[in-house]
């Protein structure tokens, strides 16, 4: 047994530990909690023709009289107007479908990379990450060129004789799906790959030895053991896609209103900061619940791993 450290060094130890734990909390407080409180405060204000364009939360009326105004009308409006609800539902639907598509496309890809020979893996991973080297915006713009009625895709389909008249893909939900799946697929593949490379292949051999055919072995062994990766990948896709603004704005049409675009409109076109803030708060609350649930699930899954 080493001798207990003298008081002084124990004090220093405690200080350094406090600093270590403190930094992330400070970071969260400064860049998450503080902005959140500001947004929360705006969400209960009223729009005003001023700079900034909303009323203050409190006001000194008289000597010793403080008036605090909490305006809940923004939240009520969001509940009353179908526009917001349908935009929200549309966002959730788009995010859900896109997450599912990413999973269906990404899982086989991640599996293929994880089981590829060692020297191929790094190259294949590079190919997955490579698009990030070009600006996200430019890549989404490029899809306009591909999807528009006289774009690459339609030209190709007409040239090959598969269709006579161009398909209307741009400015539909389909275009959003294509754009989102294209942009977010790496976020699904990377955590899945990280998970699948850890899979002990002797487990699959054991399953085969016990009379399990490859497909069943996948369902009974590989899939449950990669659940943590599936959950992580799905969260990384689902949560940002719900609030996605650029892709629906560039590729979507009037029929595909998403909450992110609505937020933007409220902020910058209508200059209604309080309403936009209320929307943002609601969106956050809506996403935190499934996030916490998934986190719980993931912890349980991780707990069962050696």
Give the one residue of 45, 221, 230, 280 binding other proteins; rule: CB under 8 A. Answer: 221
155 binds other proteins (CB under 8 A): no
Give the one residue of 105, 167, 208, 286 binding other proteins; rule: CB under 8 A. Answer: 208
Q: Which is nearer to other proteins, 81 or 302 (CB)?
A: 302
Region binding other proteins by CB under 8 A among candidate stretches 129-137, 166-174, 201-209, 257-265? 201-209
DSSP one-letter code for 41: H
Q: How many CB atoms lie within 10 A of CB 141?
A: 13
DSSP one-letter code for 5: P
Give the one residue of 120, 224, 288, 293 binding other proteins; rule: CB under 8 A. Answer: 224
Crossing angle of the two packed helices 273-303 and 82-115, in degrees rounded to 10:
30
DSSP one-letter code for 222: I
302 binds other proteins (CB under 8 A): no
Shortest Å, Cβ 107 to other proteins: 18
209 binds other proteins (CB under 8 A): yes
Crossing angle of the two packed helices 227-242 and 173-196, in degrees rounded to 10:
150
Residue 59's DSSP bridge partners are: 67
Q: How many CB atoms lie within 10 A of CB 243?
A: 17
Q: Which is nearer to other proteins, 225 or 235 (CB)?
A: 225
Shortest Å, Cβ 301 to other proteins: 8
| CA–CA separation, 228 and 300 (whole Å) | 9
4 binds other proteins (CB under 8 A): no
58: three-class secondary structure by DSSP: strand
117 binds other proteins (CB under 8 A): no
Residues 6 or more apart whose CB falls under 8 angstroms from that of 41 comprise: 57
168 binds other proteins (CB under 8 A): no
Instruction: Using CB under 8 A, list all residues that contact other proteins.
Output: 200, 202-203, 205-214, 216, 220-221, 224-225, 304-306
């Amino acid at each position: 047994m080493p001798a207990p450290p003298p008081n002084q060094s124990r004090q220093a130890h405690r200080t350094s530990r406090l600093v270590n734990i403190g930094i992330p909390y400070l970071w969260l407080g400064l860049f998450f909690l503080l902005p959140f409180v500001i947004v929360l405060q705006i969400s209960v204000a009223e729009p005003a023709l001023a700079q900034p364009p909303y009323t203050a939360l409190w006001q000194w009326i008289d000597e010793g009289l403080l008036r605090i105004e909490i305006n809940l009308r923004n939240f009520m409006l969001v509940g009353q107007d179908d526009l917001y609800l349908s935009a929200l539902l549309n966002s959730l639907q788009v995010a859900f479908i896109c997450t599912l598509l990413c999973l269906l496309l990404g899982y086989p890809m991640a599996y293929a990379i994880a089981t590829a020979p060692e020297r191929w893996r790094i190259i294949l991973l590079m190919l997955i990450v490579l698009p990030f080297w070009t600006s996200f915006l430019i890549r989404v713009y490029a899809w306009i060129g591909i999807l528009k009625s006289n774009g690459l895709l339609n030209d190709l389909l007409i040239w090959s004789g598969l269709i006579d008249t161009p398909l209307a893909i741009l400015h539909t939900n389909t275009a959003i799906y294509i754009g989102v799946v294209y942009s977010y697929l790496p976020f699904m593949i990377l955590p899945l790959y990280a998970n699948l490379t850890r899979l002990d292949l002797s487990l699959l051999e054991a399953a085969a030895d016990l009379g399990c055919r490859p497909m069943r072995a996948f369902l009974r062994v590989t899939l449950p053991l990669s659940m943590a990766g599936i959950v992580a990948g799905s969260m990384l896709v689902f949560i940002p896609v719900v609030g996605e603004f650029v892709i629906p704005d560039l590729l979507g049409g009037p029929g595909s209103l998403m909450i992110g675009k609505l937020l933007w409109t409220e902020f910058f076109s209508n200059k209604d900061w309080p309403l936009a803030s209320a929307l943002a708060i609601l969106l956050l609350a809506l996403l935190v619940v499934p996030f916490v649930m998934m986190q719980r699930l993931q912890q349980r899954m991780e707990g069962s791993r050696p």
